[in-house]
Chains A and B, each alone.
Chain A
Amino acid sequence: MSRLIATRRLVSNIFVPRLATRAFCTDAPAKLNDVPSGSHFNKEPEGDERFMNDVPQHDIAIVGGGMVGMALACSLASMPLTKHLSIAIIDSNPALSNGPLIKKDDPPDPRVSTVTPATISLFKDIGAWEHVEQHRHAYFDKMQVWDYTGFGYTKYNARDADKDVLGCVVENKVLHKSLLSCLQNKDFNSTIYPTRLSSLSLPTRSVSSAGGSVSSTSSKNLANLAKLDLSDGTNLYAKLVVGADGSKSRVRELAGIKTTGWNYSQSAVICTVEHPTENFCAWQRFLPAGPIALLPIGDNFSNIVWTMSPKDASNHKIMNEVDFVKAVNHALDSGYGPRPESRVFGGDVLSSFFRPDVTSSVHERFEPPPKVVRLVSDRMAFPLSLMHANQYASKRMVLIGDAAHTVHPLAGQGVNMGYGDVSSLSNVIADGVAVGSDIGEVTLLKKYEAERKTANIAMMAVLDGFQKAYSVDFGPINILRAAAFNGANVFAPLKRNIISYASGERRLPFLS
């Protein structure tokens, strides 16, 4: 009889974590602590919390529940080897607990991401892409890049790289919301702490000294973990702290990791505009002060990312809408210089010289971009900078996304680099779990660092090189640049390389 009761109790306890997991964003951690059974069974049954007093312990604490942080949580939740991990997400953004409703009729938000096919396949793997597809998104299969001098242009076509699409433009809030819905649909042990990180202590003492000085097993165990103090006064312990808290990362600062970087004396103005017909092409024109890009975002809307001097940026932010639309059209098409003529350099001769079987899009003519008729969102301006953390990983701490690297939005690679980090880190953690590693172990985390640092630095060098090449307005260089454009346009293998690199499928540029 008593045995029967014990069995039944066990069963009911096992259901507790299910409830806690399901409750997900409403269930404040403090509440969990008040209910002993809940906090006990909220975790792996082998009992990380056996030694726990009232301080919650998690396997991984993700600081920053933005797009990249949420993508990591989803990615961990979707892999068989990592879905048992207990995750804390620390972010004061209220959108995490009560996600904003995204209305289909609203004009698109100016904060968008150009996601590459590699990012799309990550989203498909974790089951978030189906949520993205329920909202506004725009695939594009063409990209036209040209130069205000009128000397050169390049058209990239998905066909050149045997792909269906070159990428997809999605509003950041849609990506974020999709990841959130995806995580809520999973049976996954995650807790959201709606607050901020105020301090962080990472274990530094050696094993012997930690063991020698502390007597009780529980405090020894805790001394080996990372301790996070949150601004609402709660503390928590984690085996691994992930800094996904953006370019001004608090985790990076508290871990004492130095960065290398510089500011460009440039700002980007972003906004959403409307044009008469739907757009399926990404357009980018290089102007003396920097590039202007027009990215399709679905229906008759496009997103503008326009790089200019900070002074011009503040002017463009406040000028009246009619003037702004005029200035956009001027920058995209009518102003600065002539439209490039198709095949200025006698492309047929060049192309037959380089390659007998010319790709089809070489013959595609230069097309003028759509004419913008209306501004439909606020204009935002932000300074451009490049920053790279000297280290991505140390004991029990790892940086991902903008916390590790920030780039200017040229080619829209910033967030894709972050998703690349997510996919690499979650695989490294899964590999670690497979072989029984401590997931905060530095040798394990250095694998992630080695993999991503190379890829990110290469991408940053390319983007920085682009920026530098276009920040000089000097006759001969303009001609070289135009020649490079034409070269890229007619020389198919190079073009394929550029496409596959820009679409995130290759780690290093131009190496086959």
Chain B
Amino acid sequence: MFRRMFSRSLYRLQNLSGSRGLSLHNQSISSDYAGLAAFQPLLHNRPYATTPPPAAFASSLNQTELAKFAAIADSWWDAEGPFKPLHVMNPTRLAFLRSTLCRHFGKDPFSPRPFEGLKFVDVGCGGGILSEPLARMGASVTGIDALEKNIKIARLHADLDPVASSIEYRCTTAESLVEEQMAFDAVIALEVIEHVADPAEFCKSLSSLTVSNGATVISTINRSMRAYATAIVAAEYILHWLPKGTHQWSSFLTPEELVLILQRASISVKEMAGFVYDPLTGQWSLTDDIGVNFIAFGIKTANNSSV
């Protein structure tokens, strides 16, 4: 029963009982990490461990998720295509990154290239829609994605702009980068965690990639009824902004859950903001309302020894 309730691989709406969040919360109170560990084996399929050695890793892939994105990867860079909502939302999330990271790293917010000299990794970079702007803002960016096809598209597109061509794109996973002992000033994983099989494990990997006192930024969709109504019913079924089945409500995390699992991974969340869409102007803006889409900025407190 317990296991079924926490299963993220069985994306069934009926599994979404309100007690899920509650029990996670309870565990947090009791600090019973064993409780979390209990359902870890269930969530072993890590979508970020991916393609290159297919035989060995095939079982650990979240195959449904992979196939879904391969089908639409081609249209990543079409601003009017299926990723239009991402293109429209992109400036807003970059504005959050710009303001939080400039403040944290003490950079001039009026500089056109404030991130000069900083090493960023964009986890789940897709077609590079986030990596390219970060590179234009001066960061030296590594973009990683589990899908070879996304990496190819990202590479092709980045080569169209000399500034973006400095981005290093790799078809790999956060976990593999950890094994390589890579470290970055900022680790950014936007709209990714809702697609991974084990968010807690994923956050630990992000934390391991972040240098001490570095930044980790995560954005996702809240597991709220409002998010169900907007991100799934409205965006996928009514407005057709996103292909049907892009998101599974059950795999969403609430802000409290995210803060908790980040804390367990030695990342203390310093700032959180919501995104709100204004249907009149067709633009997104930042808000205090984290009821649907939200982004969290955290700082790696010390080394990862606490877990």
Cα(A48)–Cα(B281), bound, Å: 34
Partner of A47, one of B80, B90, B162: B162
A450 contacts the other chain (Cβ, under 8 Å)?
Answer: yes
Is A443's CB under 8 angstroms from B88's CB? yes
Is A48's CB under 8 angstroms from B112's CB? no
A298 contacts the other chain (Cβ, under 8 Å)?
Answer: no
Partner of A450, one of B87, B95, B282: B282
Cα(A80)–Cα(B109), bound, Å: 10
Chain B residue nearest to A79 in the complex (CB): B110
B78 contacts the other chain (Cβ, under 8 Å)?
Answer: yes
B160 to chain A, nearest CB (A): 4
Chain B residue nearest to A211 in the complex (CB): B156
Task: Bin the interface of chain A by size.
Answer: 20 to 34
Is A207's CB under 8 angstroms from B160's CB? yes
Chain A residues near B87 (CB, 8 Å)? 443
Is A81's CB under 8 angstroms from B282's CB? no
B76 to chain A, nearest CB (A): 8
Binds A, one of B10-18, B41-49, B132-140, B198-206: B132-140
Chain A residues near B256 (CB, 8 Å)? none
Q: A221-B161, A433-B112 are in contact. Are A443 and B79 (CB under 8 A)?
A: yes
B241 to chain A, nearest CB (A): 14
Chain A residue nearest to B280 in the complex (CB): A450
Cα(A433)–Cα(B77), bound, Å: 19
Chain B residues near A210 (CB, 8 Å)? 160
Q: A224-B161, A434-B98 are in contact. Are A84 and B91 (CB under 8 A)?
A: no
Residues 61-116 of B contacting A (Cβ, < 8 Å): 74, 77-80, 87-88, 90-91, 94-95, 98, 110-113
Is B281's CB under 8 angstroms from A436's CB? no
Partner of A224, one of B91, B160, B283: B160
Is B78's CB under 8 angstroms from A81's CB? no
Partner of B137, one of A82, A436, A447, A450: A436
Cα(A48)–Cα(B161), bound, Å: 8
Is B91's CB under 8 angstroms from A431's CB? yes
Cα(A436)–Cα(B139), bound, Å: 10
Q: A436-B136, A443-B79 are in contact. Are A46 and B162 (CB under 8 A)?
A: yes
A260 contacts the other chain (Cβ, under 8 Å)?
Answer: no
B178 to chain A, nearest CB (A): 27
Is B156's CB under 8 angstroms from A48's CB? no
Cα(A50)–Cα(B190), bound, Å: 32
B115 to chain A, nearest CB (A): 9
Is A441's CB under 8 angstroms from B159's CB? no
Is A50's CB under 8 angstroms from B162's CB? yes
Cα(A447)–Cα(B74), bound, Å: 25
B157 contacts the other chain (Cβ, under 8 Å)?
Answer: yes
A208 contacts the other chain (Cβ, under 8 Å)?
Answer: yes
Residues 121-159 of A contacting B (Cβ, < 8 Å): none
Is B159's CB under 8 angstroms from A220's CB? yes
Q: A207-B160, A211-B157 are in contact. Are A435 and B282 (CB under 8 A)?
A: no
Is A438's CB under 8 angstroms from B94's CB? no
Q: A81-B110, A208-B74, A443-B79 are in contact. Are A436 and B134 (CB under 8 A)?
A: yes
A217 contacts the other chain (Cβ, under 8 Å)?
Answer: yes
Residues 195-213 of A contacting B (Cβ, < 8 Å): 206-208, 210-212
Is A207's CB under 8 angstroms from B162's CB? no
Chain B residues near A376 (CB, 8 Å)? none
B153 contacts the other chain (Cβ, under 8 Å)?
Answer: yes
Q: A436-B133, A443-B87 are in contact. Are A208 and B156 (CB under 8 A)?
A: yes
Is B160's CB under 8 angstroms from A435's CB? no
A315 contacts the other chain (Cβ, under 8 Å)?
Answer: no
Chain A residue nearest to B130 in the complex (CB): A436
Cα(A433)–Cα(B94), bound, Å: 11
* Contact digits for B149-186, partner A, Cβ 8 Å, 1 yes 0 no: 00001001101111101000000000000000000000
Cα(A81)–Cα(B157), bound, Å: 24
A437 contacts the other chain (Cβ, under 8 Å)?
Answer: yes
Is A211's CB under 8 angstroms from B160's CB? yes
A432 contacts the other chain (Cβ, under 8 Å)?
Answer: yes
Interface centre among B74, B80, B132, B133 (most CB of A within 10 A): B133
Is B156's CB under 8 angstroms from A436's CB? no
Using A206-B77, A221-B161, A442-B80 as known contacts, list a sample of 11 further A-B pairs with CB atoms less than 8 Å apart, ordered by residue number in A.
A80-B112, A84-B112, A207-B153, A211-B157, A435-B137, A436-B135, A437-B136, A438-B136, A441-B79, A443-B88, A447-B283
29 A-B Cβ contacts within 8 A?
Answer: A46-B162, A47-B162, A51-B162, A80-B111, A82-B112, A84-B112, A206-B77, A206-B78, A207-B77, A207-B153, A207-B156, A207-B157, A208-B74, A208-B153, A208-B156, A211-B156, A211-B159, A217-B159, A217-B165, A220-B159, A221-B165, A223-B160, A224-B161, A433-B112, A435-B90, A436-B134, A443-B87, A443-B88, A444-B91
Per CB-CB distance, the 4 closest pairs between chain A and chain B, nearest first, are: A436-B133, A211-B156, A435-B94, A436-B136
